[in-house]
Amino acid sequence: MPPDVPVLYLHWEGFTRWLLQRTARFPRRLRFTLSNRIDGLALDVLERIIEARYGHERITALQRVNLDLEKLRLFLRIAHDENHLDHRAFAHACEQLEQAGRMTGGWLKKARA
């Protein structure tokens, strides 16, 4: 990987791999609903990070990352409340989302300057 890859990209790629392993364990009845939404949002964030890095609409892409992170928080909380994510996995996911949000906010602040 090139040395100028954003830290957010590396962070989110690792988290997405971890998350995909967790959602694969969700019950079959959730495979095409909650699991797909969580997986799709995580992958969308990864795509938007790439768009922010290379695209002309950096601020818009980063704002969409923030929006998708918020949606993921909601869906992961639902998964936790329904006992499909244990407390430890949920805490880890929340921590990773928080860190990604801080990185996105910093990048957004820099892009607006």
Which residue, chain included where needed, has tokens 């495979």? Answer: 31
Helices (H), the chain: 7-23, 34-54, 58-81, 87-112
The pLDDT of residue 3 is 65
In this prediction, residue 30 carries a pLDDT of 86
Instruction: Please state, as a whole number, how many other Cβ atoms lie within 10 Å of the Cβ of residue 54.
Output: 9
Going by pLDDT thresholds of 50, 70 and 90, the confidence category of residue 5 is confident
The pLDDT tens digits for 64-91 are 999 999 999 999 999 999 999 999 999 9
CB 59 within 8 A of CB 112: yes
Q: Could you read off the pLDDT of 27-73 as tens digits, one per residue?
A: 999 888 999 999 999 999 999 999 999 989 999 999 999 999 999 99
Distant-in-sequence, close-in-space partners of 85: CB < 8 Å, separation ≥ 6: 22, 76, 79, 93
Residue 12's pLDDT is 98
Sign of CA dihedral 19, 22, 26, 32: positive
Cα(35)–Cα(33) distance, integer angstroms: 6
d(CA 103, CA 107): 6
Which domains, ranges and CATH numbers included, belong to the chain? Answer: 7-112 (1.20.1440.60)
2-15: average pLDDT: 89
The pTM for the full model equals 0.92
